[in-house]
Amino acid sequence: MSEVIYEGLIATHKKAPVQAQITISKDTGLITNVIENKEEFKENDNIIKINSDCLIFPGMYDIHIHAREDETKGQNHKETYQTAGDAAINGGVIGIAAMPNTPNPLTTSEQLKWHQNRTKEIKHPATFLNYVGVGPTTKPLVENVPYKAFTGPSVGDLFFKSEKELRNTLQHYKGLPISFHVEDFDVLAANENENNHSTRRPVECVEVALKYVLQIIEDYDLNAKLCHWSTGLESFNMIKKHREIMAKKNLGYNTTIEVSPLHLTFDSNMLEKNPEFWPYVQMNPAIQNKEHRHALIDALKEGFIDFIATDHAPHTISEKFKNFNGSEEEFYKLLKENPEETKLTCCENGMSGATWLDTYVNICGMLMTKHNFSSMDIARVTAYNPGKFVNSFLDSSYGKGFGKIEVGYQGSLTIMNIEKEELIVRENLKTKPGYSPLEGLNFKGRVEKVIVKGEDVTIQKDYSITDSNSVLFKLRIKDGINVPF
């Protein structure tokens, strides 16, 4: 039997980091032993010792991404399972769950089979899970899968225009796991001529939809998850009350919440000052003001929000800069020549969504250094809670699944160096569109190693790069327009 032993500081959701030896079987890919008592440590050539400036987390799992690939190949220019998987491993993420709004939205068992075969076929070290879409005419599948329902027009045809339409469909999904994109169609329509993305998709847009979404979850006992949460304050009060109602039902589950790195790092106050960053940070739902952003960070730390889920949305640079003839260089040139008018154009409606997989661990580092998250907080929101979500959909070959460093769990680890810094540069990204909203920013905390089923699958980056020709890098470093968070 071949096995490998990793020795170092393990960081789990339960306790402060502790020196341990983790044995992983390369045959099954599962953890076979965890020793925390130093006197029992083994000594042999198979032991891989991890530096003391690193933390060994259970493999981090991103439960909300867009991989774009389907049988039509219609958006393979944006991303494929291969490149999304590469970006994940590059960012310290060992598994991803892909949303169903591909060119031909995934809503049937036949399509699900296609996606499952495709992700098996590429033999990628990352684990893939697929959400199945819920639309105005869909019914639940026989397979045990997570579902996704869109209440706002983000995704072509797969969305509901009214509460009635949503209710008619969801009455058939009683007790099933459904993730919600929560934005109200009428509020969006009423604000479509506002002057930037935050005012076109205001807080009210989330709150109005949330009111009826929570009521539907209660009425049909849905095992619900709220995606990419963007607002604090009143929406938190609504969710608190709702969770109390759901808890009384003793269903064994209660509504959970995701937050995306974009809503943790950028807010509309920053964009008021520097509207030139809009093309890079436009996303649905929109970022809101600083107060909301800080409420999200606090709620993630306190455990009210359950997951960091990126909503990695790989659109090409030319799509992101469609208001500038598809050219980022033209945008930059115009910004120099005519800054006021160019900034106004940046506020116009562009393409929503940004790439985040490559920088997942950097965001964890930012939360630890700037917002005092403990390693337990990080393990909880990146591995333990995502593991609980994903494990219920896995077959027995995954053992006990993801989220813990314990016997029987996946031998997949995200090893993070918490002392070393990383300057985000385009040259080190693996996502197909090849840009990140974080380019030119420096992060304390970076990927040291990524282990999947005992194998080292780390993607090497060139940390010596200190210069880049990317427009975003130029804006932040050479022009000194830094957006702090």
Residues within the interface to Zn ion (CB under 5 A): 99, 311
Q: How many CB atoms lie within 10 A of CB 273?
A: 11
Render 408-430 in DSSP notation, one character per residue.
TSB--EEEEEEEEEEE--GGG--
Whichever of 97 and 477 has its CB closer to Zn ion, that residue is 97
d(CA 350, CA 311): 17
Min. distance of Cβ 99 from Zn ion in angstroms? 5
In whole angstroms, how far apart are CA 446 and each of 88, 376, 443? 13, 17, 8
CA 172/CA 304 separation, integer angstroms: 29
Position of minimal CB gap to Zn ion: 311
Closer CB to Zn ion, residue 99 or residue 366? 99
Q: Which residue type sits at 68?
A: R
CB of 106 vs Zn ion, minimal distance in Å: 13
Q: Are strands 413-423 and 54-58 parallel, antiparallel or unpaired?
A: antiparallel
Q: Which is nearer to Zn ion, 99 or 217 (CB)?
A: 99
Residue 55 or 99: which CB sits closer to Zn ion?
99
CA distances 92 to 57, 156, 162, 359, Å, are 10, 31, 39, 8
Tokens linked to 239: 């969710």
What's the token pair of residue 206?
């989330």
**Number of C-beta neighbours around residue 241 at 10 A:** 11
Closest separation between CB of residue 120 and Zn ion, Å? 24
Minimum CB distance to Zn ion, residue 258 (Å): 9
If the CB atoms of residues 225 and 449 are measured against Zn ion, the closer one turns out to be: 225
Q: Smallest distance from the beta carbon of 184 to Zn ion, in angstroms? A: 17
Residue closer to Zn ion by CB (options 97, 423) is 97
**Residue number with CB closer to Zn ion (22 or 99):** 99
Q: Which residue has the tokens 């045990």?
A: 144
Please, which residue, 316 or 352, has the CB nearer to Zn ion?
A: 352
Q: Quote the CA–CA distance of 414 and 89 in Å, as a whole number.
A: 9
**Rounded Cα gap, residues 352 and 333, in angstroms:** 23
Report how far residue 59's alpha carbon sits from residue 412's, in angstroms, rounded to the nearest whole number: 5
**CA gap 312, 68 in Å, rounded:** 10
Q: Cβ contacts of residue 338 below 8 Å, gap of 6+?
A: none
CB-nearer residue toward Zn ion: 63 or 424 = 63
| Residue 63 beta carbon to Zn ion: minimum distance, rounded to whole angstroms | 11
The Cα–Cα gap between 81 and 418 comes to 29
Q: How far is the CB of 315 from Zn ion (least distance, A)?
A: 12
**Residue 99: partners with Cβ closer than 8 Å, 6 or more residues away:** 64, 65, 66, 131, 148
Q: How far apart are CA 65 and CA 126, in angstroms?
A: 13
Count the helix, strand and coil residues of the chain and give each as a percent rounded to the nearest 5.
Answer: 35, 20, 45
CB 452 within 8 A of CB 94: yes
Q: Is the dihedral of CA 360, 296, 259, 289 positive or negative?
A: negative
CB-based contact 260:311 (threshold 8 Å): yes
Tell me how far, at minimum, the Cβ of 150 lies from Zn ion, in Å. Answer: 9
Residue among 69 and 311 whose Cβ is closer to Zn ion? 311
Nearest approach in angstroms of CB 418 to Zn ion is 29
Counting other chains too, the contacts that 245-252 makes at CB distance below 8 Å and 24 or more residues apart are 245/218, 246/217, 246/218, 249/221, 251/175, 251/221, 251/223
Q: How far is the CB of 66 from Zn ion (least distance, A)?
A: 6
CB of 312 to Zn ion, least distance (A): 8
- Min dist CB 146 to Zn ion, Å, is 13
For residue 81, the minimal CB distance to Zn ion (Å) is 16
Which residue lies nearer to Zn ion by CB, 283 or 383?
283
Amino acid residing at 242: H
Q: What is the DSSP string of 55-100?
A: EEEEPEEEEEE-----TT-TTTTT--HHHHHHHHHHTTEEEEEE-S
Q: Which is nearer to Zn ion, 99 or 299 (CB)?
A: 99
Rank residues 102 and 138 by Cβ distance to Zn ion and give the closer one. 102
